[in-house]
Structure 1
Amino acid sequence: MSPSPTAPPKAPPPPSTDFRNATIENHWNDPPDAIFKKRERTAEENGNNNKHDRDSIAQAMRSILGQCESCFTSGPNKRIFQDTQGRINGMLEELEKNEIPDRVVQSLNEFSQALQDKDWTKSLDIHTRLMTTEYDKHGNWLIGLKRLVDLAQKASS
């Protein structure tokens, strides 16, 4: 079958080019070079303040637990307090053994400061942030932190 005389002639296929090795400078989707540069770590990131933070967290938690203990001596709140105390003591043991990462220690430092200042919303915000990022590793004592906020709030009112 020959092509009909009225049909246009077939065009040759377009030239093919291999783009696998092509490089485009300053493409719109290229990440900025700053991402790939190593930055200097600050003293806080290096953990120079780490020991002080861990000590102040432990002191603050023990102080708040002591305040709550005197308020909740009977009834269901006593059992809640005892469970919370066990969870917080587990956290303090991990803190002493340096098993908690520095980023979590920083959040715990902010959390304990907010608790001491009786800034309940800030402490709950920090707790929520920790729950979303650290629950898999530290869920046991994170539940204790939430209960500690509730108990401290009840004890202060």
Structure 2
Amino acid sequence: MSPSPLPSSQSAPPRDPSFPSAPPKAAVPPPPPKASAPPKASDFRTATIENHWNDPPKTIFRKPNEEEQEAFDKEALTASLTTLLDACRSSFTEGSNKRIFDDTEQRIQRMEKEIQQEQIPSHVLWSLSELVEALQKKQWDQASTVHTRLMTTEYDKHGAWLIGLKRLIDLAQKASHA
């Protein structure tokens, strides 16, 4: 059955030409703004070169001036080491500590020989001087800090006597408590 036509009294309202015949559509949001261009691609392998993010501090490359080199007294350093060894010698006369002391003494003598033959750079000598001074003042933590710094930078060249230096720190600490 077809729908019955509306009676003439109930006729459809006249059409307004401004209204479209289809129902109104939902409001459409405006298009998003144009995106900016992506950042310029960079090769991450050159980040170190370009940004210098992992460069060591410039102070470690500082060369001592002539006054500092002349002011360094190698004899005083070796005399201080000998004094420290003598102080430990009286405390460690038997057993395993005696063997450790004997090995330490040989390693320190090797270092003293390198000092006399000028085979050790001046920046290492300054660190050794700082370490010996800390040992004389019984500042064990400071001596260990200097030793650690030397181990990380100089082990390849001077590892044999650096081990002896660590043992000297330990022996001096034990001897001071005995």
TM-score by length of 2: 0.63
Listed as ranges, the matches of 1:7-156 within 5 Å are 42-45=65-68, 47-50=69-72, 52=73, 54-156=74-176
Distance in 2 between residues matched to 1:92 and 1:41, nearest whole Å = 21
Runs of 4+ in 1 over 4 A off after TM superposition: none
Letter in 2 for 1:152: A
Q: CA deviation at 1:42?
A: 3.3
Q: CA deviation at 1:64?
A: 0.4
Residues 134 and 142 in structure 2, CA contact (< 8 A), matched pair in contact too: yes
Distance in 2 between residues matched to 1:89 and 1:145, nearest whole Å = 11
Deviations 1:68-120 (A, max 9, x none): 00000001000000000000000000001111000000000001100101100
Q: Is the radius of gyration larger for structure 1 or structure 2? A: 2
Distance in 2 between residues matched to 1:132 and 1:143, nearest whole Å = 12
* Count of residues paired in the alignment: 120
Change (3 A) 1:41 1:138: closer
Letter in 1 for 2:148: T
Q: CA deviation at 1:55?
A: 1.3
Q: CA deviation at 1:58?
A: 0.3
Distance in 2 between residues matched to 1:76 and 1:40, nearest whole Å = 42
Seq. identity, % = 50
TM-score by length of 1: 0.71
For structure 2, which runs of at least 5 residues remain unmatched after alignment? 1-49, 52-57
Q: CA deviation at 1:131?
A: 0.1
Distance in 1 between residues matched to 2:63 and 2:141, nearest whole Å = 34
For structure 1, which runs of at least 5 residues remain unmatched after alignment? 1-27, 30-34
Q: CA deviation at 1:41?
A: 6.2
Q: CA deviation at 1:44?
A: 3.9
Change (3 A) 1:91 1:76: same
